[in-house]
A and B are shown apart, each in its own frame.
Chain A
Amino acid sequence: MYNVKTKTCECPKGMVEDSTRNCVKKPCKGDPFEEMFISDYNSEKNANRFGCTRYDPNRTCNNIVGNRFHAGIDLKAAIGTPIRSVSDGQVFATGTSPTFGNYIIIKSGNLFFLYAHLNTVPTISGNITTNQQVAISGESATVGEPHLHLEVRERDGTEDYNDMNKLNIEDYLTTKFDNNGNTIQNEC
């Protein structure tokens, strides 16, 4: 959508040349995608953000009746979209899970960044730098709803991932979203 074949020596402002010598939109440092949109599955965008955001009449979340907890953010991504690391770190684990599908975890200090529903299990290992491509988006374990589930947890005295401190991933992204879940354009 934003790819521009260029015949000039320099790309327009806000764009960079990719490996095929096309000008592409410059990604914000710390965002997994060049184009950042919250997924609109689950009735509305805000249902795909961090917190007690999911409507569920059969659940209670932090004393809010009718809501379910969502530990991360679901970002819109067509199958096959390259995913970049939002932080420096090391590949901590890769694999497949019944709930998360194919995933990769990148550890950065005490923080564990989880990228889920990937197209395949990533084969990358070792040190990772911010904006380095680490995976390809998909729809594993979520048939029919291709998106990236991205979350961050902090090792807070426990080695058990389930019990780690769940943090709001939006605090770690460069792109911000307004109260309706729409993207606020950043100059980056």
Chain B
Amino acid sequence: MNANLNNMKTKKTINILFYLFIYLFIYLFIYLNGINIYSQENKRFLVSKERISSFSINGLKLKDLNDPGRRFEKLEKLGKPLNIKYSKSFLEKVWIYEYNGFKLTFVNVNGYPELLEMNINNLNTEFKICLDKKRLNEKELLNDMKKSKGKFIEGKRKNSEKFDGSSSFLEINLTDNYKRIKFILYKNKII
């Protein structure tokens, strides 16, 4: 009788330990995944919409980049591009202006060239980035992110979510340790 009772108690204890182990496993799984998501995805900073218009590169304001003129005359401020790639289809013409450290993609679908995308991929070059009338280098941009308006977003966020109801977004993409800027991307919705 006593042996049976002891057996039942042992089984009950084993069952409790088993379920505790399962709960602990699930908890650890969720917790570690949470860390993983944070460390791998959360490395993009979206500059707040109201600050985007204050952005300029080598003294050329975003409104002039968006609308560079039919002969791209407003781009003269940026100096001579390293390379210009041009392609044409029935629907659109595409120009890619490559400069030292950044690249501008323009399309013509409405009768005049418009900026589709600006990709700044090397902040160690000589060009000048200004935001809110302040000249910012890479270190200052990183500091700026900590205290200024904008938000960190998940890496897999779709473009539509980045546009968030507007026609453009400016995104700063960081390295894994948040200590360097990988690239800065500005994108316009053309159609």
Interface on A for B, CB 8 Å cutoff?
A: 41-43, 54-60, 68-72, 93, 95, 97-100, 103, 105, 114, 116, 142-145, 149, 161-163, 166
B110 and A143 form a contact (CB under 8 A): no
B157-185 at interface with A (beta carbon < 8 Å): 158-161, 163, 165-168
Closest 9 CB pairs of A and B: A144-B160, A144-B158, A43-B165, A56-B167, A145-B160, A58-B63, A57-B53, A162-B108, A97-B91
Are A42 and B189 touching (Cβ within 8 A)? yes
Given contact pairs A57-B53, A144-B160, A116 touches B191 in the complex (Cβ within 8 A): yes
User: A42 to chain B: closest CB distance in Å?
Assistant: 6
Q: B160 and A142: CB pair below 8 A? A: yes
| A99→B159 CA distance, assembly (Å) | 14
Query: If A42-B165, A143-B160 touch, does A99 touch B111 (CB 8 Å cutoff)?
Result: no
Contact at B92–A97, with CB atoms within 8 Å? yes
23 A-B residue pairings within 8 Å (CB atoms) = A41-B160, A41-B165, A42-B165, A42-B189, A54-B167, A57-B52, A58-B53, A58-B63, A58-B168, A59-B63, A59-B66, A60-B63, A68-B167, A69-B110, A71-B191, A72-B191, A97-B92, A99-B91, A99-B107, A99-B191, A100-B109, A143-B158, A161-B91
Interface residues in chain B, defined as those with a beta carbon under 8 Å from any beta carbon in chain A: 49, 52-53, 62-63, 66-67, 89-94, 107-111, 116, 158-161, 163, 165-168, 188-191
Q: CA–CA, A41 to B89, complex, Å?
A: 28
**Interfacial chain A residues near B190, Cβ < 8 Å:** 99
List residues of chain A with CB within 8 A of the CB of B89.
Answer: 95, 97
B190 CB, min distance to chain A CBs, angstroms: 5
Residues of chain B within 8 A of A143, CB atoms compared? 158-160
Residues in A neighbouring B168, C-beta threshold 8 A: 56, 58
Q: Would B91 and A60 count as touching, CB distance under 8 A? A: no
Q: Which residues of B contact A70 (CB under 8 A)?
A: 191
Q: Report A-chain residues with C-beta under 8 Å of the C-beta of B94.
A: 98
Whole-angstrom CA separation of A93 from B92 in the bound complex? 13
Q: CA separation between A55 and B158, bound complex, in Å?
A: 20
Task: State the Cβ distance, B48 to closest chain A Cβ, in Å.
Answer: 12
Minimal beta-carbon separation of A87 from chain B (angstroms): 19
